[in-house]
Structure 1
Amino acid sequence: MFLKTLIFPLTNPDMKILLLLLNVPLFCYVVGGSDCRKEPQCSITRVHKMKSGNCYDRKFRSFPKCLATDVEVIDLTFNRIRKVSKTDMSKFSYLKFLYLADNLITNLEEDVFEDLSGLTTLDLSLNALQKVPVSVFKLPALTSLYLGQNLNINIADALDMARPLKSPLTKIDISRTTDEENYSVFPDFGILPYLVVLNITENYYYTLTPSLFMGFCNLKTLDSANVTTEFEDPCDCWRLNTWLKNRKVKFTLFKCTVIESRCLDNDLTNEDLLIHEKCSEMYKSNELKHTINTILIGVGSTLAVMVFILLIVFYRRRRRIKRNGQLRKNQTERTQNDALKHLNNQQICIPNEYS
C-alpha cells in the first residue's frame, strides 16, 4: 500500500522505475530475512585473519540459515542441533574449520561434507553419532578430526569402506567412544603417513595387535591413558610398548598380563615391519612430490616474472624505436621544408635581366 501511494501519484516515469528498483532489494530482504529474524544470531569476527561465524552457545536447534556463505570458520559448539544436511553445508565453499561439538547430532548423511574441499578441521565430538560418513575420510584437505565422546560410534565400518584414506590426517581424537559395557574392535586406519597425534583415551577394546599401529610412521603422541584391552598374543603388549618407546612416541604404557621375561622375542613380525616400511616410503614419496611442486611453482613464478620484465623491456624498446623514427621523419620533413623555403627565397631575389 505504501508503494502504491508513493509511486503512482508521480508523473515522471523515470522516477517510478527508480523507486521500484530501490524497493526490490528491500522486498527481497524482507522475504529472505524473515527466517533470519526468528533464528539466533551469530557474530562475525576475524580469527587469524579468517572471517569467522561465532555461534557458540546461541541456542540453535538447527543449522543457521542466514550465516554469511563466505566464512572460513564456523563455531557451533554447545548448541542443540540435531541434524546437518548437505544442503546446509554445500553453500560454504570457503569453509576451513567447522566446530559442531556438544550438540545432539545422531545421524549424518553420507555426502554431508562432500562439497567442503577446503575443510581442514572437523569437530564432531560430544554428540550422539552412531556412525561416521565415509566421505569424511575422503576430504582432500582434512588434517584434524575429532570424534571423541560419541559413545558406541561405529568407526570401524566407515574405515573399512573408506580405505585407503585420502585425507592427510595429522590428528585424530576417538577418545571415550566405548565403555565397559560396550567393547569395540580397534579401528583399522590403514596407512596414515602424516598422523602425529592419536587420542584413544578411556576406551575398551576386544583386542589389539601391533600391526594396527604400523601405518603411523610419524606418530609423536599416543594418548592411551586408561585404555582397557586384551592382546591376541599376550607378548604383543610388550612388543607394542617397546616399539613405541624406541620410536620415542609419548604414550601411556599398555598393561601387560604377562611378565616381560616370559616374552623372549619382542621383535615385530616381518609383515608388521613391511607395513611400517611402506608407510615411510609413502611419506618420503609425498614429501618429494611436495618439494618438486614447490620448486616448480617457484621456478614457474620466476620465469613468469622474467617474461613479464622482458615484455616490458621489449615494449619500451619498440616505443623508443618508433619515437626515434618519428623524430627522424619529422626532422627530415623540417629540413626539406627549410630547403624549399630557401629555394623559393632565392628565386624571389633574382633580378629580371629583361626588365
Structure 2
Amino acid sequence: MIAIYLWILLFVFVGADQPISCQKCRNQRVHNMKGADCYDLGLREIPQCLNPNIEVLDLSYNRIRKVKETDIERYSSLKYLYLTDNTITEIEEKALLKLTSLELLHLSYNPLLAIPKTIFQLPSLKKLYISEHQDVDVAYDIEKGKPILSPLMMLEIAFNDMRELPNLGELPTLIFYNISGNKDVLMKTSHFAGLCMLKQIDMTKFTGRFVSDCDCSNIQRWLQARKVEIIGEFICQINDCAYEIPESDLEMFAICLESNKVKSLHSTLLYIVLPACLIATIILCILLFMCWRKTNSRYHRTSVQIHANRPLFK
C-alpha cells in the first residue's frame, strides 16, 4: 500500500512537471533518421524535452509566436525543421546559427516581420521555403543576407506580393526556383545572371513587369538559351526585339560558371582523390608491415641458426 502511495506522489510531483507537449509529440524514424512529430498539437513554444539527437522536427500547424536562440540550440543535430503555418512573427538572428547540419527549413505561412540574414549562411542548407509572407519584404531581406553562402539547391518564395524579384547574386548551386503566385513583379536579366546551374523555374500564376518592352523577350530568350524549364506560362507581348544582354550580367554568369567549376573540383578532391589517397596509404602501410615482418622473420631464423651452431662448451 505504501508503494502505491509513493508511485502516486512520484507522478504528481515529477510527472506533473513533464510538459504536456513532450507527452504529445511522437517519436518516429523518418528516412532512417530520428524524428519528433509535433504536428498540429496547439503548441505555443518549441518543446525542450525531446531527444536532443533528433534530426527531423515537425512543428507545423501550431501556435508558436517566436523562435529564440535558447529554443533550438538543444537540437543541434537537426537536418529537417518544419515550422509551417504557425504564428511566428520573429526569429532571433542567432536562433538557427548552431544548426550546422540543417538541410531543409520550412517557414511558409507565418506572419514574419523579418527574415534573419543568418539563415542564408547556414553551411548545409539546401532547401528553403519562405512562401506566403505578406508582412515582410522577402526580396529585401534575402538581398540583405548576401552573399548567400548556403548551398541552396531549391528556393521557394511563392505568393509573397513582392514588388521586385530578389537579386540572389552568385548562387551556382540553385537548381529549382519557385516564384509562382507573385503578381506584377519587376524582372531583369540580372535577377538570373548568377544562377548559372538553374534547371527549373516555377512561374505558375506569376505575372511580371519590365523596365522596357524588350526586357520580357530578353529574359525569356536568356532562360531558353540555358535550357531552363519554365513551369507555367511566361508570355511576352513583343518578341521581335534584338537580343541584348548587359555586359555586367554576362560577366556575372561567367563568374558563376567559374565558381561552379571550383566547387566541382573541390567535390572531386573530397569524394575521389582523398579516399584514393587514404586507400593508397593503407596499402602502403600493409606492404611496409609485410616487408618488416618478412625481414624480422629472416633475422629471427638466422639468429636461431647461429645459436644452434654455437658449441655448448668452449
TM superposition score normalised by structure 2: 0.86
- Which of residues 64, 82, 99 in structure 2 aligns to 1:116? 99
What displacement does 1:122 show? 0.6
- Tell me which residue corresponds to 1:16: none
Looking at structure 1, the residues matched to 20 and 306 of structure 2 have their Cα atoms a distance apart, in angstroms, of 74
- Which of residues 35, 38, 44 in structure 2 aligns to 1:52? 35
69 and 307 in structure 1: CA distance in 2 versus 1, 3 angstrom threshold: farther
Unaligned runs of 5+ in 2: none
What displacement does 1:186 show? 1.6
Determine if the alignment matches structure 1 residue 241 to structure 2 residue 241: no
What displacement does 1:31 show? 5.9
What displacement does 1:238 show? 0.9
User: After superposition, where does 1:217-232 map in structure 2 within 5 Å?
Assistant: 217-232=196-211
Determine if the alignment matches structure 1 residue 94 to structure 2 residue 74: no
Aligned length: 305
- Tell me which residue corresponds to 1:130: 113
What displacement does 1:91 show? 2.0
TM superposition score normalised by structure 1: 0.77
Determine if the alignment matches structure 1 residue 274 to structure 2 residue 251: yes
227 and 37 in structure 1: CA distance in 2 versus 1, 3 angstrom threshold: closer
Looking at structure 2, the residues matched to 233 and 109 of structure 1 have their Cα atoms a distance apart, in angstroms, of 40
CA contact (8 A) 1:193 1:282 kept: yes
CA contact (8 A) 2:21 2:47 kept: no
What displacement does 1:61 show? 1.8
Please give the per-residue CA displacement for 1:95-129, whole angstroms capped at 9, x wherever unaligned: 11111112111111011110111111111111111
54 and 326 in structure 1: CA distance in 2 versus 1, 3 angstrom threshold: farther
- Tell me which residue corresponds to 1:254: 234
Secondary structure, counterpart of 1:79 in structure 2: coil
Looking at structure 2, the residues matched to 229 and 159 of structure 1 have their Cα atoms a distance apart, in angstroms, of 19
What displacement does 1:158 show? 2.5
Please give the per-residue CA displacement for 1:278-297, whole angstroms capped at 9, x wherever unaligned: 11111112112221233331
CA contact (8 A) 1:97 1:122 kept: yes
CA contact (8 A) 2:22 2:50 kept: no
- Tell me which residue corresponds to 1:74: 57
- Which of residues 282, 291, 294 in structure 1 aligns to 2:271? 294
Higher relative contact order (CA 8 A, sep 6+): 2
Please give the per-residue CA displacement for 1:249-295, whole angstroms capped at 9, x wherever unaligned: 22134343x4323x2x1232222222211111111121122212333
Letter in 2 for 1:198: Y
CA contact (8 A) 1:209 1:231 kept: yes
What displacement does 1:315 show? 6.2
233 and 82 in structure 1: CA distance in 2 versus 1, 3 angstrom threshold: same
What displacement does 1:205 show? 4.2
91 and 299 in structure 1: CA distance in 2 versus 1, 3 angstrom threshold: same
- Which of residues 303, 309, 312 in structure 1 aligns to 2:286? 309
Looking at structure 2, the residues matched to 77 and 175 of structure 1 have their Cα atoms a distance apart, in angstroms, of 18
Please give the per-residue CA displacement for 1:127-160, whole angstroms capped at 9, x wherever unaligned: 1112210000001111100001122422233333
User: After superposition, where does 1:1-355 map in structure 2 within 5 Å?
Assistant: 34-37=17-20, 39-178=22-161, 183-251=162-230, 252-256=232-236, 258-261=237-240, 263=241, 265-310=242-287, 312-313=289-290, 316-317=293-294, 320=297, 324=301, 331=308, 336=312
Looking at structure 1, the residues matched to 198 and 54 of structure 2 have their Cα atoms a distance apart, in angstroms, of 32
The alignment yields a C-alpha RMSD, in angstroms, of 2.8
206 and 43 in structure 1: CA distance in 2 versus 1, 3 angstrom threshold: closer
Unaligned runs of 5+ in 1: 7-26, 341-355
CA contact (8 A) 2:139 2:166 kept: yes
Letter in 1 for 2:228: V
Looking at structure 2, the residues matched to 134 and 239 of structure 1 have their Cα atoms a distance apart, in angstroms, of 31
67 and 326 in structure 1: CA distance in 2 versus 1, 3 angstrom threshold: farther
Looking at structure 2, the residues matched to 33 and 190 of structure 1 have their Cα atoms a distance apart, in angstroms, of 52
Once the two structures are overlaid, the 10-residue window that deviates more, 315-324 or 78-87, is: 315-324
Letter in 2 for 1:108: I
311 and 214 in structure 1: CA distance in 2 versus 1, 3 angstrom threshold: same
Looking at structure 1, the residues matched to 255 and 97 of structure 2 have their Cα atoms a distance apart, in angstroms, of 29
Letter in 2 for 1:219: L
143 and 320 in structure 1: CA distance in 2 versus 1, 3 angstrom threshold: same
CA contact (8 A) 1:40 1:59 kept: no
